Structure 1
Amino acid sequence: MTTARELDERYGRKGRRPLPWIIGGVLAVAVIVFFGWTTVAKQMNAVDAADLGFTVVDTHSVDLRFQFTAPRGADVACAVEALDVEFGVVGWKIVEFSGNESHTQGVQVSIPTVAEATTGLVKSCWVA
């Protein structure tokens, strides 16, 4: 009787080798873990900001109220701006806040302007 091994040798077939599949599986898991961790690490340092309101003080100043959510103890910097009726930037400022044990912090800043503004808003915030 002919065995499977003899048939494989006769017709030039090679047995299945699991090593390439094992290496490929390990690499796939490593890539998934890497991208998963970078996503989590990026979200741990994310800063979210929300406008609460603004007051046009005069033609050269706007007061902006907003809150931001950041990791506890992290220094935060925010870019704020004032816009005119045509949505042109008439004033902007970078403000920095020292680390706080509070997760969310409400603040008010004054933005100097070169012309009368109709609104003030937070452009973006980041961990400094």
Structure 2
Amino acid sequence: MTTPDMLDERYGRTRSPRRRWTLGIIIAVAAVLVALYAWMTVSGALDDVHVDTTGFEVTDERTVMLSFQITAPTGRSVACVLEAQDEEHGVVGWKVLEIPASAVHAQAFRESIPTVSAATTGLVNACWVT
């Protein structure tokens, strides 16, 4: 035993086992919290659907053709809300499109949206995994 160790033992400056256990428990809890946060972040991103509207064409007063691409998880079905709007951004037509599960990660679509009056634009409002 070295001189500093002998002095620490003599004057009671040794680390207690209780302090070591407390430090170990704090480290373990912190590691579990970090792992839980990482899992929640990754699992939330697994069901993300990304949509890009690539174009639209006002066919006539009652129809808008909408072109768009989706990037979704493979093997999962997706639903999208398609909208047609007028000059004042009022919704004049909409449609829910259900896309069956596919082995392809990214897909392109061209869909018609029926309208109740003349539209000036078409867009994808939202998509989600069903």
Q: What range is the shorter-chain TM-score in? A: 0.7 to 0.9
SS at match of 1:51: strand
CA contact (8 A) 2:58 2:64 kept: yes
Amino acid of the structure 1 residue aligned with 2:34: I
2:106 aligns with 104
- The amino acid across from 2:103 in the alignment is E
Which of the numbers 21, 24, 33 marks the counterpart of 2:23? 21
Structure 2, unmatched stretches of 5+, are 1-5
Q: 2:79 aligns with which of 71, 77, 80?
A: 77
- The answer to which of 108-117 and 63-72 deviates more is 108-117
Structure 1 length normalisation: TM-score? 0.85
Match of 1:49 among 42, 48, 51: 51
Aligned partner (choices 87, 90, 101) of residue 88 of structure 1: 90
Gaps of 5+ in 1: none
Deviation (angstroms), 1:67: 0.8
CA shift, 1:108, in A, is: 1.2
Number of aligned pairs? 123
Among 117, 120, 123, the residue aligned to 1:121 = 123
Alignment-mate amino acid for residue 106 of structure 2: T
Cα separation, 2, equivalents of 1:94 and 1:18: 60
Structural mapping, 1:52-67, within 5 Å: 52-67=54-69
Give the TM-score normalised by the residue count of structure 2. 0.84
Instruction: Report SS of the residue matched to 2:73.
Output: coil
Matched residue type, 2:74:
R
Compute the displacement of 1:6 (Å).
Answer: 5.6
RMSD of equivalent CA atoms: 1.9
Tell me, in whole angstroms, the C-alpha distance in 1 between the residues paired with 2:15 and 2:44.
Answer: 45
The corresponding residue for 2:36 is 34
Deviating runs (4+, > 3 A) in structure 1? 2-8, 13-16
Asked if 1 retains the 8 angstrom alpha-carbon contact of 2:8 and 2:14, the reply is no
